[in-house]
Amino acid sequence: MPDPSGPDPTVLHPMPEQPRVVLLRPLVTSPLIEVGEFTYYDDPDDPTAFETRNVLYHYGPERLVIGKYCALGTGVRFIMNGANHRTDGPSTFPFPIMGGAWAAHFDLLTDLPNRGDTVVGSDVWFGNGVTVMPGVRIGHGAIVATGSVVTADVPDYAVVGGNPARVIRTRYEEADVARLVAVAWWDWPAEHITAHVRTIMSGTVEELEAVAPA
């Protein structure tokens, strides 16, 4: 009999026949990366290299926070604040990091712009090859189209696309978005989610609210 709580969120490969798919929560080791349960990454080359191949220039202290039940297509990349260069002088070249006598000028790199943590809500779908710039906040239930470059915050349940990414449409009316965020199905107990998968996937806002745990 299947486990009433659903699949195991601690298993690295939730689909053994598809090694290209990994759950990120049991994979990541960096204290600067936080990922919620069942968020997965799909990559035919090496999905287990997510921390080094897909989270770039992550020298800290800013964090990457990704919610629960997110789907990340192949090549989704998060550019972190460590990628920044000075732009207020004649040259943008980061001389001090090359060492030698140039290292004496490392103070020139200590006050670079920092937009803070990059935060992704729950139930977000990223298409293939999306790039997320530093300090962006992406709301719950958002969809980011293939190839997009996200340079600004994305509202809850918005569909965005392009370079830079713009809102194409919203998935629900504003009042319904507020109701969906309030019901927060991704925070329900695992057993309750399992019992109501069909409503979560295909029900109305009213039906979702009706089955929410008391």
How many angstroms separate the CA atoms of 147 and 135, rounded?
19
End-to-end Cα distance, the chain: 27
Phi, psi of 156 (to 5 degrees): -55, 135
Distance CA(62)–CA(82), nearest Å, equals: 9
Mean pLDDT of the chain, nearest integer? 95
Confidence of residue 214 (pLDDT cuts 50, 70, 90): confident
Which of 140, 145, 214 has its CA nearest to residue 177? 140
Active site residues: 85
Q: CB–CB of 168/153 below 8 Å?
A: no
What span, in angstroms and rounded, lies between the C-alpha atoms of 122 and 41?
14
Confidence of residue 6 (pLDDT cuts 50, 70, 90): confident
194-203 pLDDT, tens per residue?
Answer: 999 999 999 9
Residue 2 confidence (pLDDT): 58
**Per-residue pLDDT reduced to its tens digit, 131-184:** 999 999 999 999 999 999 999 999 999 999 999 999 999 999 999 999 999 999
Specify the DSSP class assigned to residue 112: -
pLDDT, tens only, 161-171: 999 999 999 99
- Does the pTM surpass 0.85? The reply is yes
Q: Which domains does the chain have, with CATH numbers?
A: 21-171 (2.160.10.10), 173-214 (no CATH)
pLDDT recorded at residue 118:
98
pLDDT at 127: 98
Residue 1 has pLDDT above 60, yes or no: no
> Is the pLDDT at 100 greater than 60, yes or no?
yes
